Each structure stands twice: as C-alpha cells, then as structure tokens.
Amino acid sequence: MGFLLRKSVKVGPMRINFSNSGISYSVGVKGARLSTGQRGTFVTLGANGIYYRQKISSSPGHTNSPVYQTLPGMHSITSAPIDQLTDVDSKVFIDELSEKASKISLTKWFGIWPMIIFVVLLSFNSLRSRELVQQQGGERKVAVINSFVGSNVRALADGDSKVLRTAKYGEEFTFLGEFRQKWLKVKFNDSIGYVSKKLAGISMVQDPREVETELFITNPNYPWLLGSGLLFFAVLIYFLSRQDKKRFEMELNYEMDEQMGILYETLATHFSTFKSSQRKWQYLHAEGNVDWKRNAGAGKLINRITIGSVMQHKNPIRFFKTNVQIPHIKLNGTELYFLPERLLVRRANKFAALFYKNLVIDCSSTRFIEEESVSPDAKIVGHTWKYVNKNGGPDRRFTNNRQIPICLYSLYTLHSKTGVYETLSTSRIGAFDGFADYLKKIGVIQSIMDANQID
C-alpha cells in the first residue's frame, strides 16, 4: 500500500499544497476557488469570490475599442483580433488551452497517415490490373422488322411452319444469313428462326466493346505483409491515441455554493429559450440607406446571416472534460463557449476568454423590414411597401410593388473593453434575455468579489 502525503502551507493570501501528485498553488477568498494542477482544474463558485491554484498576473491588459472596419458608407460588425480579446484574469487559462489546441496529433501524423501510405505503396507494388473482354464489339448485321403490323418468326423457312414468336415493328434480331432469297435466318435468345424478307430488312449496328478490369496479386507475400502491417499500425495507433489523450486532456470541474448553485440551475433553461427561437441571426455589416424610396423606407441596410448552430453543450477541444454543460453558439468564423464564470471565444485553433464582469450585453428591440419569409414566432407590428412614398403609401409608378411586413425582433450586442463585439438577433422577443441576465448576475458577483479583495 502506498503512502499518501498531503500538506499545505499558507503564505499570505497564497496557499502552497504538497501531495503525492505534486505541488499546486491557490489564491483567493472564501466562497469560490479555481484550481489547476496535474489532476485537472477545479472551480468553486460562490458569492464571495473565485480561488486560483496559479497566481494570476496583475499586469495591465489591452483596452481596445470594438473594431469597425470602415468601408464607403458601410461598417463591419465584428470583434477585434482574437489575440487582444483576453482579459488579465483569464490569461493563464487561455495559455494552457491554446497550447493544447496547437499541438499536433501523434495519432494522425505518426499513425493514421503512415498506415495509409504503407497500404498504398504496398498495394501499388503488389497488385496489377488487367482487362477481361466481355464483348469485342464492332459492326454487326441485324434483321429489323419493318412491317407496321409486325411479323411471325417461324421454325422453318415455310409460311405454314410453326410460329416461334411474333415480332413487333422495329424489333431487331441477329442476322445469320438469307435462305431461298425469301427468308432471313435470325437468332433470338438461344433459338433460331426465320422471318419473311417482305416483312424485314437488313441493317448494320455498332456494338460497344465491353471490358471488365480485374486486379490480381503479383507479390505472393502481399496478404501476409498487409495483415501484419495493419496489425502493427492498429497497436501503434492505440498507443499514440493514449498518448494524445494525456497530451490534450484538460479537465475542468466545478463546485458551487448554495447561492451559486441555485443561480446556475437556470442556465440550461434560459439557453434552451434562446435555442428555441425559430430564427437567430448574426449581424455582419450595417450601411446607411440613401435610397430609402426603393428599399421599403428603411433607414439602415443590415447584412445578416443565420447563426450556424446553437448547442446546449459542446467541448472547446478534444479530450476536454467537465462536469457542467457548456452552451455553444457558432458564428461566422467565431465560436462562443459560455463557461459558468467566463466567456470563451475560439477562432480556428486560437482562444480568448474574459470573465463576465468584463462583458457587457446590451438588450433592445428593433423593427425589421422582413423581405424573407416571416418566422412563425415573429411578431408583425406593421407593413410597408417595396417602393414607398414619403407618406408611407405605395409608389404607384412601380407595377410590381408588393407589401412587406415589419417585424419586431430582439437585438443583443455583446462587447467588452478588450475588443469583443458581436451582435445577435432573435425572431422571438426576449429569447436571450434570461441567459443574458444570468451572465450579468455572475458578473455582478465577480465585481463584488474584486471589491472585497480591494477592501
């Protein structure tokens, strides 16, 4: 039986823990703790604060304003470069996550790809192909029935002989020769018969050449080499996959006090409400409208796209373990992961994060002139015309002038001083309100925690 060694030493606000698994560090106040070490990351959330096993750097972070990429009359609605989005408190967490995401997969590059190359090279040098001719093709004489009433195919060249079958107009038979200048000898199926020359004619047809390709083994050791190689790579891939799991594995376990637990229970419900909205959009560009008369009277033109996917839970990287759900929203080139205490942003294999105390969510409603099909859960608050007059009536100069509904949608802008800036819209009024309120409450708790630490 092994010995269990565990001892902790408190040095000011920092606690150093010694155990069989190694040394770890923590710092914070009573109520919430985030710990990182060899056994994963442990987070305890509560009304009084958040603890960290690794001391967070206190160096000032970037304070960039939201990026607006200006074009003539248009601006893009997007966040700053991802390297600038992370707040100071999340730097250690993001460094670890980015480091794991940037690692190459040993299984892929030293297992799967070499196995594919091995099979291809071995097969290339051990297998050959050859053609088996099924039909030579070429020109062939046929007897074609040219009588509109058809013709009898008889057993003998005699009008009184047995009728083998009745042929229709245009039907073709393989021509075998003439008989007594009055009959055409033909073949059909496995039988031979005769057709009157008065009711049929001779024609030439071009038969295609039919070839079948067959693979054959030139290396007698090919089956043995292939089987042995696949067995070797199966063992290698299994070993490499275990190594990859150790290299990529990142564990995040949450423990919450009673107050935080009650608050967190509403997270899944609120996100389900957002997900249930029939239509969800991301705003990409906004442009002032100078030709309002031909654009249904709109004061601004919005370029929006449907949000890629909304999931109740998705891990940010492979082999990521957690005991809570991580709501996920896939935007254009950007993915948002909502951890219990912070927002995680992903672009390709790069990550950024910021605590909810540093995230601002503006909620409002907007009247949108909907030229697409109206969502079943949308609220129509008025109508306008494709071509409109100053008084709001239809411009009679246009014959194809149609009436367009005006819908009331919810609009949400997520932004931060570090440069996060994303705008979402839902067809269902208030679909994101509950979830946004949860994030704001977490931010308030985090701000109170900071104030208590300063005091």
What is the band of 455 on the pLDDT scale with cuts at 50, 70, 90?
low
Assess if residue 128 is contained within a domain.
yes
310 & 165 share domain:
no
Q: Of 202, 251, 203, 236, whose CA–CA distance to 109 is shortest? A: 236
Query: 33 vs 444, which has greater pLDDT?
Result: 444
270 & 356 share domain:
yes
Residue 94's pLDDT is what? Answer: 82
Assess if residue 40 is contained within a domain.
no
Assess if residue 253 is contained within a domain.
no
222 & 297 share domain:
no
358 & 237 share domain:
no
Q: Is the pLDDT of residue 189 over 60?
A: yes
Phi/psi at 403 (5° precision): -85, 140
Assess if residue 397 is contained within a domain.
yes
CA distance 194 to 383: 80
> How is residue 44 written in tokens?
């305890």
Q: Of 30, 28, 4, 31, whose CA–CA distance to 18 is shortest? A: 4
72: helix, coil or strand? coil
Residue 77's pLDDT is what? Answer: 64
238 & 337 share domain:
no
217 & 321 share domain:
no
Q: Residue range 54-58: average pLDDT?
A: 33
Residue 196's pLDDT is what? Answer: 92
Provide the β-strand partners of residue 354.
Answer: 343
Alpha-carbon torsion, ordered 12, 18, 21, 25, to 10 deg: 10
Residue 86's pLDDT is what? Answer: 82
> How is residue 382 written in tokens?
């008025």
Q: Residue range 235-243: average pLDDT?
A: 93
Q: What is the CATH number of the domain that holds 184?
A: 2.30.30.40
What is the band of 192 on the pLDDT scale with cuts at 50, 70, 90?
very high
Q: Summarize pLDDT for 101-138 with one digit per residue, the tens.
A: 788 889 999 999 999 999 999 999 999 988 888 777 78
Averaged pLDDT score across all residues of the chain? 79
Provide the β-strand partners of residue 210.
Answer: 135
230 & 364 share domain:
no
Q: Summarize pLDDT for 387-435 with one digit per residue, the tens.
A: 777 767 776 777 777 788 889 999 999 999 989 999 999 999 999 999 9
Provide the β-strand partners of residue 132.
Answer: 212
pLDDT above 70 coverage of the chain, percent: 77
Residue 66's pLDDT is what? Answer: 32
Composition of the chain by helix, strand, coil, percent to 5: 25, 40, 35
SS3 per residue for 207-269: ECCEEEEEEEECCCCHHHHHHHHHHHHHHHHHHHHHHHHHHHCEEEEEEECHHHHHHHHHHHH
pLDDT above 90 coverage of the chain, percent: 40
- Sorted by sequence, the CB contacts under 8 Å of residue 272 that are 6+ apart come out as 312
Residue 274's pLDDT is what? Answer: 95
Residue 40's pLDDT is what? Answer: 57
The amino acid present at 208, given as its one-letter code, is P
Q: Residue range 316-327: average pLDDT?
A: 88
Q: Of 209, 200, 196, 107, whose CA–CA distance to 145 is shortest? A: 200
Alpha carbon distances (Å) from 305 to 282, 326, 425: 5, 23, 10
Residue 161's pLDDT is what? Answer: 92
Q: Residue range 5-27: average pLDDT?
A: 44
199 & 217 share domain:
no
Assess if residue 343 is contained within a domain.
yes
Let me know: does 401 contact 395? Beta carbons within 8 Å.
Answer: yes
Q: Residue range 285-290: average pLDDT?
A: 65
Assess if residue 28 is contained within a domain.
no
Token pair 């246009």 is found at 398
- Structurally, the chain folds into a number of domains equal to 3
Q: Is the pLDDT of residue 62 over 50?
A: no
Residue 44's pLDDT is what? Answer: 62
Query: 90 vs 154, which has greater pLDDT?
Result: 154
127 & 143 share domain:
no
- In terms of phi and psi (left: phi > 0; alpha: psi -120 to 50; beta: otherwise), the region of 148 is alpha
Phi/psi at 131 (5° precision): -100, 135
Assess if residue 64 is contained within a domain.
no
CA distance 283 to 98: 27
Q: Is the pLDDT of residue 72 over 60?
A: no
- For the chain, the distance separating the N- and C-terminal CA atoms, rounded to the nearest angstrom, is 48
CA distance 259 to 33: 15
Alpha-carbon torsion, ordered 169, 170, 173, 175, to 10 deg: 110
Let me know: does 407 contact 365? Beta carbons within 8 Å.
Answer: no
User: Which residues span the domain enclosing 150?
Assistant: 138-207
Q: Summarize pLDDT for 204-223 with one digit per residue, the tens.
A: 888 888 888 888 899 999 99
What is the band of 67 on the pLDDT scale with cuts at 50, 70, 90?
very low
CA distance 425 to 362: 12
- Residues in the chain, total: 455
User: Lowest-pLDDT range, 216-220, 248-252, 336-340?
Assistant: 248-252
| pTM of the predicted model over 0.75 | no
Query: 451 vs 264, which has greater pLDDT?
Result: 264
Q: Of 397, 153, 431, whose CA–CA distance to 275 is shortest? A: 431
Residue 382's pLDDT is what? Answer: 87
CA distance 326 to 367: 32
Assess if residue 234 is contained within a domain.
yes
CA distance 180 to 133: 37
Residue 26's pLDDT is what? Answer: 46
